[in-house]
Amino acid sequence: MNPQSLSALLSQVIKAVPDYPKPGILFRDVTSLMLDAGAFAQVIDAFKQQYQGKGFTKIVGTESRGFIFGAPLAYAMGLPFVPVRKPGKLPRERIAQSYQLEYGEDTLEIHKDAIVAGDKVLLVDDLLATGGTIAATTSLVERLGGKATDAAFVVNLPDLGGQARLEKLGLNLYSLVEFAGD
């Protein structure tokens, strides 16, 4: 499917929920996309086409919606998948990074042995808003000696500033649909 058709399909299947989880937030709900098996497959295929053969050694997905797209992409590309998790969920030695969200504050953690020096990492998440989640994830990867060069999203909300923030960090960004004016 060409990028324009995929973007049009995604803007139909991703439902918008006003005032969730707080007044003033327009929530872009990817669970309605996952109910459409064909659209879900198109997302994973588009990511694979974008990144296959580019030398990535690991895919890192951020809890929880980053797991939904990151893990099937890792399977499709034959790469290891590394979960970055909310606090208290990883059982072995780990490092932590705090960050601001569009609607709150949180901390993320990664297992110390999940990234090794020289890893070339693709970050995957469902949605880019302020960029706090992926900035924190980039920092976790780089503190362990990896290089996070690229980040892939289903949805980009460019008005919330994440795109500009992550580009300043030197990340190459790729998203399948943009919603401006949120």
Ligand X SMILES: Nc1ncnc2[nH]cnc12
Ligand Y SMILES: O=P(O)(O)OC[C@H]1O[C@H](OP(=O)(O)OP(=O)(O)O)[C@H](O)[C@@H]1O
**Cβ neighbours of residue 131 closer than 8 Å, sequence gap 6 or more:** 160, 161, 162, 163, 164, 165, 166
Q: How many residues bind ligand Y (CB under 6 A)?
A: 18
99 scored as a contact of ligand X (CB under 6 A) = no
Contact 143, 95 (CB under 8 A): yes
Residue 28: name its binding partner from ligand Y, ligand X, none (Cβ under 5 to 8 Å by kind): ligand X
The partner in contact with residue 42, picked from ligand Y, ligand X, none with C-beta cut-offs of 5 to 8 angstroms by kind, is none
Contact with ligand X (CB under 6 A): which of 1, 27, 63, 106? Answer: 27
Answer yes or no whether residue 127 interacts with ligand Y by CB under 6 A.
yes
Active site residues: 65, 102
With respect to ligand Y, which residue has the nearer C-beta, 117 or 180? 180
> Residue 42 is inside which H or E element, if any?
helix 37-51
CB of 147 to ligand X, least distance (A): 26
Q: Residue 110 is inside which H or E element, if any?
A: strand 104-111
Question: Smallest distance, Å, CB 127 to ligand Y?
Answer: 5
Coil, helix or strand for 148?
A: strand
Q: What is the C-alpha to C-alpha distance for residues 145 and 34, in angstroms, rounded to an integer? A: 34
**DSSP string computed for 112-142:** GGGS-TT-EEEEEEEEESSSHHHHHHHHHHH
φ/ψ region of 169 (left if φ > 0, alpha if ψ in -120 to 50, else beta) reads alpha
- State which H helix or E strand residue 47 sits in: helix 37-51
Residue 132 interface partner, choices ligand Y, ligand X, none, CB cut-off 5-8 Å depending on type: ligand Y
Site string for ligand X, 44-83 (x = CB under 6 A): ----------------------------------------
Binding site partner of 125, from ligand Y, ligand X, none, Cβ cut-off 5-8 A by kind: ligand Y
Among 81, 115, 123, 130, binds ligand Y (CB under 6 A): 130
Site residues (CB under 6 A) for ligand Y? 62-66, 101-102, 106, 125-133, 162
Chain contacts with ligand X (rule: CB under 6 A): 25-28, 102, 127, 129, 157
